[in-house]
Structure 1
Amino acid sequence: MRSRYHYHTYGFDIASQIPLPELTQIPPCASPDIEIVAGEVKDVLEGSRAVNQWLQLGERQCQVWVDGIARYRIEEGRRIVVDRRVSGSGDEPAAPSDIRVYLLGTAFGVLAHQRGWLPLHVSAIKAPSGVWAFTGESGAGKSTLSAWLYHYHGCELVTDDVAVIKPADAEPLLYPGPRKVKLWKQTLAALQWDTQGAQRDLTRVDKFHLTLEGSQAPQPEPLRALVVLERGAEGEPAQLTEVQGPEALFLLLEALYRVELGRSYNPPEAMMRDCQALAERIRIYRYRRPWDLQEVSRSLEPLLHQMDLTIARDDL
């Protein structure tokens, strides 16, 4: 009989046979939302179609194979089977921390889609005016901006990488993910953060995962705004522009985490309906500014104004 560990994240109560130190522990629950077990995941998922060499999709199941790390089978939005064997029989088992990266990211994103929820690829903070989430293409600076607002303006770091919206909620509550943040080496240096205990990113040698302090399970709070980060030309003044209507809906759809998986488990009209309803309940902005790390402080003024924040003395 394997030990069972109990956690809470993304709005799930979890019973897991695998320790997950990035998550906040909770008392044992008799009826968890999600069960994570260590077991066998076969090469081929029966009744599925192969999307590519690492992903197989079935009607109510999904199988993810990360070569050299683990195999994951996600079942009906309620169960994840983790097979920690790697491709070659003589290979060393992957580090537990590496296995958890894909479990807490991709696998949980699939779970949310299987439940008909909206997983958003965002980094979010809590300002005096409420919770603000930042999104954009890879490398747009989502985590950097959140960390900057936390360090210099006292904003609480809510979540980084993925968060969840449940369309059935009476208000647009944002359910945070694991208590960690991913930052580039140069950002850590600029913020003078110690990398001791940080985990190096599996695909980017100069990016690190840091676990945030906190013993309480993060609580969902209403999402006030979604900000899409865009690259501006060198020397171009920063601009924060609110968008509405079809453009706002398009930006929200672009912010969904692995939207191709969502289309596999939810009718397109349902996703459009849920995103349209969310777009009408929050404010959506384009934030265009230079991406140079040295320009972060000078480009913040329009954003700080909307967030009801003042420029910190140390941020000048």
Structure 2
Amino acid sequence: MALAQVVYGRRLATTRPVPFLQPVHLGEDPADGFLAFEERPTTPRPPACAPWYQGQIVDARQGPELIGYHEPERGLFHFCYNVGTAFTYDHPQRRITALWSPPQTFEDTCTYLTGPILGFVLQIQQRVCLHASTVVMGTSAVAFVGPNGAGKSTLAAALLRRGAEVIAEDVAAIERQAEGFVVHPGPRAIRLWDPSVTALYGRPDALPCISKHWEKRYLPLDTPEQPRPARLTAVYLLEVVPAEAPVSSTQLSPMQAVTKLLPNIYPDWLPLPEARVAILDTLTQLATVVPIRRLSLPNSFCRLDEVCDYVLARHG
């Protein structure tokens, strides 16, 4: 029987089980996509074509963190990370091939896969992904949107301790269905930096590291059964404010909301005009039916319970 797992509403046949993804039985139905993994002794070579996208340069000696290549005539996208991990996405076949070489590991590769790579694949399939963590409180599914370091995962983990269910962390895959906009479940783990782990659990080593090459730690989301898509009832754009500032929120107009959401699509490197048009259309529809608010988040772990109280009072 073929191995298959589900994430972001996609059932993927895979050659190896991906950490934190739930198994799924395909039955007679075809998979929505395919994953293949291969470790190589040397760094995978980039394709011969010219770069299509170049990421930021963190270290001048290593060059861009990520370089993307596009072969439109074949429907292929290649993504080469400077750490020695590479991905090829065959759009016609809906197949992702992941390659890595030591010292990179399978776990390192899966971190890229379940984040920016699958986010990119979903968006060129015209499903919007936001840089957001999503929790369910009672009958409300609420997404907390913001860039790296805004506190999305920390707030989701704090709400988890207060009885909320976390269905997606860091990536919110959104789809319009008959009952409204829904968020599809993501990997069953929350990733946190050491200061957040210390604030929530008392010490940084209270949670295990993702891998020896990643400083973030993870909190498994143990659930008895696969979470279902949740109807999105509110979106909060996190705005970090001084530690002494009050916790408050402000309703945004649909036009303001779309302007604020666009920089938070995930990943934000999507230089495909047709995909961006589809994303803009979906965000415009979303902003007209789902309340989108700006939420002030005091820059102090001591205020986390107060922020949770504020959110739970409105959605718990």
Give the stretch that moved more between structures: 28-37 or 42-51. 42-51
Q: Output the CA distance in 1 between the equivalents of 2:51 and 2:178.
A: 32
Q: How far did 1:211 drift?
A: 2.5
Name the residue aligned to 1:7.
5
TM alignment of 1:33-112, pairs within 5 A = 33-38=32-37, 42-44=45-47, 46=49, 49-52=52-55, 53=64, 54-58=66-70, 59=72, 60-76=75-91, 78-84=94-100, 86=101, 92-112=102-122
Preserved CA contact (<8 Å) 1:125 1:146: yes
Q: Corresponding residue for 1:312?
A: none
- The whole-number CA distance in structure 2 between the counterparts of 1:6 and 1:303 is 36
Deviation, 1:192, is 2.2
Q: CA deviation at 1:305?
A: 2.4
1:274-289 mapped onto 2 (5 Å cutoff): 274-289=282-297
Alignment match, 2:262: 253
With structure 1 as the length reference, what TM-score do the two structures score?
Answer: 0.84
Aligned residue in 1 for 2:61: none
Q: Does 1:189 align with 2:198?
A: yes
- Partner amino acid, structure 1, of 2:47: V
Q: How has the CA–CA distance of structure 1 residues 114 and 299 changed in structure 2, closer, same or farther, with 3 Å as cutoff?
A: closer
Residue 140 of structure 2 corresponds to residue 140 of structure 1: no
SS in 1 for 2:217: strand
1:227 equivalenced with 2:226 (yes/no): no
Compared CA separation, residues 234 and 168, structure 1 to 2 (3 A): closer
Q: List gaps (5 residues or longer) in structure 2.
A: 56-63
Q: Is 1:113 aligned with 2:123?
A: yes
SS at match of 1:260: coil
Q: 1:150 aligns with which of 160, 166, 169?
A: 160
CA distance in 2, matches of 1:273, 1:226: 17
Q: Of 216, 230, 250, which residue of structure 2 is paired with 1:241? A: 250
Q: CA deviation at 1:275?
A: 0.9
**2: CA distance, partners of 1:4 / 1:76:** 21
The one of 14, 17, 22 equivalent to 1:19 is 17
Is contact 2:150-2:239 (8 Å) kept?
yes
Q: d(CA) in 1 for partners of 2:220 and 2:284?
A: 34
Q: Secondary structure at the match of 1:172?
A: strand
Contact 2:168 2:185 (C-alpha < 8 Å) held by counterparts: yes
76 and 233 in structure 1: CA distance in 2 versus 1, 3 angstrom threshold: same
Change (3 A) 1:66 1:236: same
Aligned counterpart in structure 2 of residue 298 of structure 1, from 290, 295, 306:
306
The 1:46/1:32 distance shift into structure 2, 3 A limit, reads farther
Aligned mate of 1:164, from 154, 169, 173? 173
Residues 140, 291 of structure 1: 8 Å contact kept:
no
Structure with bigger strand share is: 2
Q: 1:180 and 1:106, CA in 2 relative to 1: closer, same or farther beyond 3 A?
A: same
- Equivalent residue number for residue 208 of structure 1: 217
Query: What is the distance in 1 between the residues matched to 2:212 and 2:237?
Result: 24
CA contact (8 A) 2:146 2:264 kept: yes
SS of residue paired to 1:166: strand
Q: CA RMSD in A?
A: 2.5
Cα deviation, residue 76, structure 1: 1.2
What is the TM-score when the length of structure 2 is the normalising length?
Answer: 0.84
Instruction: Select the residue among 179, 186, 210 that pairs with 1:199.
Output: 210
Contact 2:47 2:69 in 1 (8 A): no
Aligned residue pairs: how many? 296
Residue equivalent to 2:184 = 175
Residues 240 and 211 of structure 1, relative CA distance in 2, 3 Å threshold: same
